[in-house]
Structure 1
């Protein structure tokens, strides 16, 4: 029975992140390469993750705490989100694409926190040590993310709308599967006498009145601005090395999505290491390690390249596992140790709102605007473009970059071709992460108590 429970949660975790991995890393290739849509507008598209996380995780957390079984709500959201993604091929411009993705994310983003709620509830009801058992189950979510990335890349779909169809089908299947999961009923009893705030599930927002918890949510938001940056730009960053003559044909450029999936492989290892790090160093130090890992991640990308700097790109992918998981998983477990059990689903929704909501909105919009304003080159004629890239006009790259551009007999472009200068971009992000880490170390006070982790299992 025990193995069956863990296996069923493992399948849920695998499909949960397969749905996301099918397009999250490669959406920039579809946007910039296939469609050649406006670079400044890309931040708005990626901010749909954030806007939907501003309200949906908190709302669904309240619904799961009060009215609807968590596994049923989870299944409905995945089913609707999967159907929505299948409409991507019909989006013919930036605006239509934005709204389809936004509706899909309204359904998908709250399922991340709901999957944690379901996992914690089922494991506790079956008397498992959550700190020990949950990470190995969650690691299969990362395996699912990797599997989706590899499938999309190896089938030649990383720059086509098929990546969204693959994701949509997986979401529909997960939605149906969710109704077979163990029951996770609401934890707020209907017979309890409640105040107005409790009656509408708003008591979780009282957490902001506690200085320490409010500070935790503030840093969650600030780091959330950095969490999705490499998801937004990582694959297109590596792919754009292929524009330069000296890097064309290199393995890392041709199979960029597979190379970037090293980041998710790293996640699987660091997730398994989380129980050791938490018990040895405590929640605060683990989260601080995560922030410093982001500094290293961005710094390595700033100086890496597909030739002599290949080791830096690979090492940055390895560091990603520590950077991403140490904060997300330890932050989630922190709330489990400090929040009343009756509002834990709501608290997890608030955590998602601050990281993938406010943080992601700020990060996606600000980063896209900064890149477009300060780190984007414009080329207005054939000579300047080919000289910069070290290619000639017979090179297929030239045809791809000028696919939507009319070229005059003298080589002048009807509209500018834009390319990004990635090294200062990543250094800017590294500086931002460093400031967050220093402030967190100084301001967030949390004494390590090994006993608090054992409380999660009860």
Structure 2
């Protein structure tokens, strides 16, 4: 079977088994279970907690002791088995612990899937820069497909969404064992210090003012991403409590509306080379931050019909720019400004700040804030005010970044990626 096709299947399923529940878990949590917002923030924080240390740990295992595809397969099988327990959990406290276990298995597979793809492509003389992006785009398509299936089968508010993800996770785990072997590369010298083995030497980057600022703002933007994942579908579904909107397409198919965000993501990826070349890395990251302001601000004034529906759709389109422009340009900034000896560790640090500490901060703080200040006695949420607060947060971050982060555009800096 064609290697690129096999890696495409891998990428598709990698994000399918996440998309089946990530966007709709809030509907299940607040609607079916009717649990609190602060507890929901803790549950979503499990993604960040797992991202802080698990990718580095599994990376060491794959570098030293076990084939990457085998470790990847084992983790997905364990992730799938754990997900099967979630629908039967009867308390938010127990749900947190089961979800934490699931995330400890799943989150490191994101970086492992990239490592497997890179190794297989390089080992078979493919141009990674040319061939990997079209393969990775199918991951986003898988995420969208899972969202649609969960919504169209009527499971956005049921525990069956976890069963859907679990079945395909186990299938993916078994499939991984059929992939080309990706043996340990032993790239870490045997006489390396413990800090070097764990990638801790990359933390020396915090001594550099510009890099420290970059990682700090990465954390703040990572928090913003959690807000839209946690509350987007819940927000749209809550319009169902208003009689005039209850039967609208947006309420019934809210997950499909939200999937416009992921569709937009695939399109904006194609625009990044143009923007980077013309405006530079800092300005592209700044555009991303202002796009987050629009993302939240448009939600604040959106409703399921007429002009308000257009605002919600536009917010979903803007999401592609908000997400891609910072994550990809930020990754390129790390690639072009760090020593090659710690470049992989530095990329891991970037992911730790965004998907780790940023995700934990965004999840916990937003859960507490909404529960304490923006939840009415009957449990309804003040969505207009919530989104305006989030928009103000993103605006403050964007203004501070524009003032404090100094980086001149050098058209030749992107050429360094090719060498």
Structure 2-normalised TM-score? 0.92
**Which position in structure 1 is the counterpart of 2:47?**
49
**Which position in structure 1 is the counterpart of 2:403?**
442
Residue 185 and residue 336 in structure 1: after superposition, are their counterparts in 2 closer, same or farther (change >3 A)?
farther
Which residue, out of 142, 148, 168, partners 2:166? Answer: 168
Indicate the SS of the match to 1:420. coil
Deviation larger for 77-86 or 441-450: 441-450
Which residue, out of 378, 382, 394, partners 1:421? Answer: 382
Contact 2:63 2:188 survives alignment (8 Å): no
**Which position in structure 1 is the counterpart of 2:417?**
456
Deviation larger for 331-340 or 48-57: 331-340
**Which position in structure 2 is the counterpart of 1:103?**
101
Residue 191 and residue 44 in structure 1: after superposition, are their counterparts in 2 closer, same or farther (change >3 A)?
closer
Contact 1:15 1:174 survives alignment (8 Å): yes
1:338 positional shift:
3.9
Distance 1:137 1:314 in 2: 27
Distance 2:334 2:125 in 1: 20
Distance 2:162 2:199 in 1: 34
Residues 55-112 of structure 1: CA deviation (Å, up to 9, x unaligned): 2123233444444443333222222111111111221111111111110011111222
**Which position in structure 2 is the counterpart of 1:142?**
140
Residues 365-396 of structure 1: CA deviation (Å, up to 9, x unaligned): 11111111111111xxxxxxxxxxxxxxxxxx
Indicate the SS of the match to 2:376. strand
Distance 1:188 1:211 in 2: 33
Residues 88-138 of structure 1: CA deviation (Å, up to 9, x unaligned): 122111111111111001111122233333344444555555454433222
Distance 1:343 1:179 in 2: 30
**Which position in structure 2 is the counterpart of 1:177?**
175
Contact 1:22 1:149 survives alignment (8 Å): yes
Residue 322 and residue 434 in structure 1: after superposition, are their counterparts in 2 closer, same or farther (change >3 A)?
same
1:160 positional shift:
0.8
Which residue, out of 207, 219, 222, partners 1:221? Answer: 219
1:418 positional shift:
1.0
Contact 1:62 1:201 survives alignment (8 Å): no
Distance 2:348 2:169 in 1: 20
Indicate the SS of the match to 1:332. helix
**Which position in structure 2 is the counterpart of 1:390?**
none
Residues 317-340 of structure 1: CA deviation (Å, up to 9, x unaligned): 001111112222222333333445
Residue 222 and residue 83 in structure 1: after superposition, are their counterparts in 2 closer, same or farther (change >3 A)?
same
Superposed, 1:10-159 pairs within 5 Å as 10-125=8-123, 130-159=128-157
Distance 1:277 1:185 in 2: 38
Indicate the SS of the match to 1:245. coil
1:199 positional shift:
4.4
Distance 1:188 1:280 in 2: 40
**Which position in structure 2 is the counterpart of 1:364?**
363
**Which position in structure 2 is the counterpart of 1:383?**
none
Distance 1:337 1:137 in 2: 24
Question: Once superposed, what is the RMSD of the aligned Cα atoms?
Answer: 2.3
Superposed, 1:326-365 pairs within 5 Å as 326-340=325-339, 343-365=342-364
**Which position in structure 1 is the counterpart of 2:322?**
323
Indicate the SS of the match to 1:205. helix
Contact 2:57 2:198 survives alignment (8 Å): no
Deviation larger for 239-248 or 322-331: 322-331
**Which position in structure 1 is the counterpart of 2:312?**
313
1:420 positional shift:
0.4
Contact 1:58 1:353 survives alignment (8 Å): no
Deviation larger for 225-234 or 52-61: 52-61
Aligned length: 418
**Which position in structure 1 is the counterpart of 2:274?**
276
1:37 positional shift:
1.4
Residue 426 and residue 181 in structure 1: after superposition, are their counterparts in 2 closer, same or farther (change >3 A)?
same
**Which position in structure 2 is the counterpart of 1:377?**
376
Distance 2:23 2:322 in 1: 17
Residues 344-383 of structure 1: CA deviation (Å, up to 9, x unaligned): 44333322221111111111111111111111111xxxxx
Distance 1:184 1:228 in 2: 33
Residue 322 and residue 427 in structure 1: after superposition, are their counterparts in 2 closer, same or farther (change >3 A)?
same
Distance 2:339 2:179 in 1: 25
1:11 positional shift:
1.7
Distance 1:41 1:452 in 2: 44
Contact 2:28 2:158 survives alignment (8 Å): yes
Asked which structure has the greater CA Rg, the reply is 1
Distance 1:452 1:128 in 2: 24
**Which position in structure 2 is the counterpart of 1:203?**
201
